[in-house]
Amino acid sequence: TGLVTLDPGFVNTASCSSEITYIDGDAGILRYRGYPIEQLAEKSNFIEVSYLLIYGELPTRQQLEEFSSKISRHTLLHEDLKRFFDGFPRDAHPMPVLSSAVSALSTFYQDSLNPFDEPNVDLSTIRLMAKLPTIAAYAYKKSVGQPFLYPDNSLGLVENYLRMTFGFPAEPYDVDPVLARALDLLFILHADHEQNCSTSTVRLVGSSEANLFASISAGINALFGPLHGGANAAVLDMLEDIRSNGSDVAEFVRKVKNKEAGVRLMGFGHRVYKNYDPRAKIIKKTADEILAKLGVHDELLDIAKQLEETALADDYFVERKLYPNVDFYTGLIYRAMGFPTKMFTVLFALGRLPGWIAHWREMINDPATKIGRPRQLYIGRTARDYVDMAGR
Ligand code: CMC
């Protein structure tokens, strides 16, 4: 077995077979369990899409009611877990707070430790779907020094999350249906994307038979990086930089092309899509609609559109088939909704959760699964004799 193939970044290596999500990167096609993303975006909702991803079929009315009422009943965090947030600095980034709290769920629910105990995997699935929005809202509340709100289980998942984020304990909070629908749509569009960096991480960690919470916590950390989920925040920083440098889009694109100081056009390019990302198409349209409905005029949206236009007319981007990806326009919507930039990648995590769960479950139930253990090409020194301190 001396023959090992080197494939940095797994550009051409499949690590599993999967029935969950289909992507045709050249044609710009994305389907969950066979259903085109455009139809799900228009007709479905996040809870239904989560069920579809995790269980493989669209739920019947009764299955959907059961699934969502179970989720509603598990939204509370253990009071001791609430105190956990006090241990972080107030200006902590919410992503490591999120991953730490998810990791800590293993300590509160020790019944989750056996990955082959199906009823408990189902329970962990519900607990994660229910509690991640609460954890995310508390990470935010902690960062702004505001009191935590208990979940209101008469509300849907997205409405509840918005209320826990932007509401106050003593005041009624009217969830804006336009915001709720837009966030639900963004969650649908983020819900799965086959073997991306964070999903592969969830599978790799899970392949050691680590439980669902531990595996998803690792996935959240993988998502944090700016080349993956962190790109949505990096796009906003980039747009703000361009604005403060006089909104000279052409000059910025020149820098990217000359690869000056590692400047990349964030929110552009994708390992699999060599065409317009079908999610970005929907999101771009949504950004226009939401900003208009909220009566927000954001100069940064104008800069983003100019950037896209300039890049798509430029040989550098055309030759490399670089198009806007899911992260290019999302930040502008989140910002119009009132989320600070730091929260953007947390919102990505909330959307991606059902995909991670679906992949972990598929992995654990697949008889072909083996512990993930890539090989390497050793290029270090050959054997040599130890040198005493005096001789170095
Ligand atoms: N700006 C400028 N040049 C780029 C970009 C970009 N955003 N993306 C790729 N390139 C160039 C790259 O320099 C290379 O050119 P050359 O052959 O001259 O060296 C060529 O295009 C191929 O790039 P690559 O780095 O080999 O592609 P990859 O598949 O390894 O990387 C990527 C994919 C998404 C990491 C990359 O396109 C990137 O860094 N984009 C910016 C960050 C970003 O938006 N990430 C979000 C990805 S989508 C959702 C998600 O996963 O969160």
| Protein residue with least CA distance to atom 46, ligand 1 | 228
Looking at domain 45-226+353-365, its CATH superfamily turns out to be Citrate Synthase, domain 1 (1.10.580.10)
Distance (Å, whole) CA 330 – CA 187:
11
% of the chain residues with pLDDT over 90? 96
CA of 270 to the centre of ligand 1 (A): 6
pLDDT at 219 over 90: yes
Residue type, 119: P
160-190 pLDDT tens trace: 999 999 999 988 899 999 999 999 999 999 9
pLDDT at 343 over 70: yes
∠ CA 211-348-270, nearest 5°, is 100
Distance (Å, whole) CA 138 – CA 161:
10
101-141 pLDDT tens trace: 999 999 999 999 999 999 999 999 999 999 999 999 999 99
CA of 345 to the centre of ligand 1 (A): 18
174 within 8 A of 191, measured Cβ to Cβ: no
- pLDDT of res. 170: 86
∠ CA 285-173-350, nearest 5°, is 50
The yes/no answer to whether this complex scores an ipTM above 0.95 is yes
Token readout for 44 is: 């479905």
268 lines ligand 1 (CB under 6 A): yes
**Which strands form 29-32's sheet, in the order they lie side by side?**
21-24, 29-32, 35-36
Distance (Å, whole) CA 191 – CA 319:
30
Q: Where in the chain is the domain with CATH 1.10.580.10?
A: 45-226+353-365
Report the pLDDT averaged over residues 84-93.
92
pLDDT at 1 over 60: no
Q: Does domain 231-337 have CATH number 1.10.230.10?
A: yes
Distance (Å, whole) CA 337 – CA 344:
11
Q: Where in the chain is the domain with CATH 1.10.230.10?
A: 231-337
- pLDDT of res. 247: 86
Catalytically annotated residues: 270, 327
Best mutation site among 265, 270, 347, 350 for ligand 1 pocket (most ligand atoms within 8 Å of CB): 270
% of the chain residues with pLDDT over 70? 99
Looking at the DSSP assignment, which residues form a beta bridge with residue 32? 21, 35
326 lines ligand 1 (CB under 6 A): yes
46-80 pLDDT tens trace: 999 999 999 999 999 999 999 999 999 999 999 99
236-270 pLDDT tens trace: 999 999 999 998 999 999 999 999 988 999 999 99
| Protein residue with least CA distance to atom 9, ligand 1 | 269
Report the pLDDT averaged over residues 377-388.
97
Best mutation site among 26, 322, 350 for ligand 1 pocket (most ligand atoms within 8 Å of CB): 322
